[in-house]
Amino acid sequence: MNKKKALISVSSKENIVNFANGLVANNFEIISTGATKAELAVAGISSFDVAEITNFPEALSGRVKTLHPNIHAGILAKRDDNEHMKFLSKNSIEQIELVCVNLYPFKDTVAKGASLDDAIEQIDIGGPALIRAAAKNYKHVCVITNISDYENVINMLAEGNLNENERLKLCVKAFEHVAAYDALIAQYLSQKVESNILPEKITLTYEKACELRYGENPHQQAALYREPLYKQDFVQLHGKELSFNNITDSYGAIALLKEMTGPNVVAVKHASPCGAGKASSITQAYIKAYNADPVSIFGGIIAANREIDEGAAIEIAKTYVEIIIAPSFSEEALAILTKKKDLRLLKLNDVLIDNLDYKKIPGGLLVQTIDDKLILNELEHKTIRQATHPETFDMLFALKLVKHLKSNAIAIVKNGQSIGLSGGQVSRISACKQAIANAVEHLGKDVLLGAAMASDGFFPFDDCIKAANFAGITAIVQPGGSKNDIASIEACDRYNMAMAFTNIRHFRH
């Protein structure tokens, strides 16, 4: 019985000996390259060197090994095409029925901070060519690029059911593998090119990190995919697995937290802030964030930029929250919080902020640079009365919050505590009225006396100024830029309110 030929050329040698033994047991002879051949030889598995097939030595320090007609014709020939088969016979080229390749470790190399020259040497040439050739001819050739498929392929060979449909599945994986590899190289090299923020073509690659409990709703499936070089930004210490909403809400909390200095706690619900507090301790910061809206915080996410200590844990444990995010948890805090078996505790590492923001639309992708601008030291005071130091402190805190609310958005702050937040409204006056109403509902109307208000966009009319004044708010910060700015400024002057412009809009859709 004539033996079939399998070409094995792998960078990762994991489980390759077992796989090769399985091929030999299923009547395959093996063709391999230098390091792979040596690995198999140590295990007592004989193989042909590629050079024996090509009659040409490896060249250019191994850059050229398998790029030869004796290899690629053996892979690409259509077995049901007489002309193809005559060509193989005339030129004494043997058919290659199976190709097993994984590529040079480009990702691992650049992840270690390698130089550009070292990274370039880890760009595989022959490997992708072999994979593409075998995948193109999947009707006749089996291609394997994933170590997790080794056992299944051997079982199908043994059972005689490695059929065309199964080879097509492996073909799809092969093209995904090569496409991801090339995309990673393009992403890495594009970072070396200045002024390449919005390139002519965008090819993104992500790797599945894990499957999630469910999507936005329980009937939807979901998974988390990561950029290959993205460092893990949090570690789950406790609690059940995360859902789609848990992750989106967590990143909403983390993004806001990155704006904060000093001990801060933010509460997030449905990816929008519902409470925030700044204080001298995390416990007091949490109490402020909780009291800002004790209704909305229920079932939400708590994020702190300091360690969760025993005092904070005692307070947080009094209500139901889904997730607590912090850079660390004291032993006392863990003893308290881990009693809640479903509560997720996430240890926050340094979070990398993407340079670009992507939004998928049907048939396309919207891409923009991230909103990383926040004017804090260059407020343009527009009114007769300028803000006091406490008012300015609260205005700046409110600016950080309003930037992370959906437009139209209003944030009201007093003494380092959010007291009224409203986002996602279709008119600015609606957002203003709702933020005021939220403050009154949870903290009483007197809390608004002397408070500061921030808006993510300009005021087209003076109606928000009138509503703020009636509530007792004394300082406002907004982008400005309306043709009707003067009406808002004059209204503030009539009411002895302070107003400052940032000249920076923060719409978030």
**Helix, strand, coil distribution of the chain in percent, nearest 5:** 40, 20, 40
Tell me how far apart the alpha carbons of residues 302 and 254 are, in angstroms, rounded to a whole number: 10
Grouping H, G, I as helix, E, B as strand and the rest as coil, residue 224 is: strand
CA nearest neighbour of 303 among 336, 345, 334, 343: 345
Tell me how far apart the alpha carbons of residues 32 and 167 are, in angstroms, rounded to a whole number: 21
Tell me how far apart the alpha carbons of residues 412 and 374 are, in angstroms, rounded to a whole number: 17
Computed from CA positions of residues 145, 149, 154, 159, in that sequence, does the dihedral angle turn out positive or negative?
A: negative
Q: Is 136 a catalytic residue?
A: yes
Extract the tokens encoding 147: 């170590």
Extract the tokens encoding 126: 């022959």
CA nearest neighbour of 384 among 500, 503, 498, 502: 498
Is 56:68 a contact under the CB 8 Å cutoff?
A: yes
Q: Which of 13, 270, 340, 347 is catalytic?
A: 270
CA nearest neighbour of 396 among 278, 489, 275, 255: 278
Is 299:322 a contact under the CB 8 Å cutoff?
A: yes
Q: For 13, list phi and psi in degrees, rounded to 5.
A: -90, 5
Q: What DSSP character marks residue 170?
A: H
288 CB burial (10 A radius; 0-12, 13-18, 19+):
buried
Q: For strand 234-238 and strand 344-348, is the pairing parallel, antiparallel, or unpaired?
A: antiparallel
Q: Which of 13, 84, 136, 442 is catalytic?
A: 136
Extract the tokens encoding 339: 């009693």
The secondary structure element, H or E, covering residue 205 is: none
Residues catalogued as catalytic = 136, 270
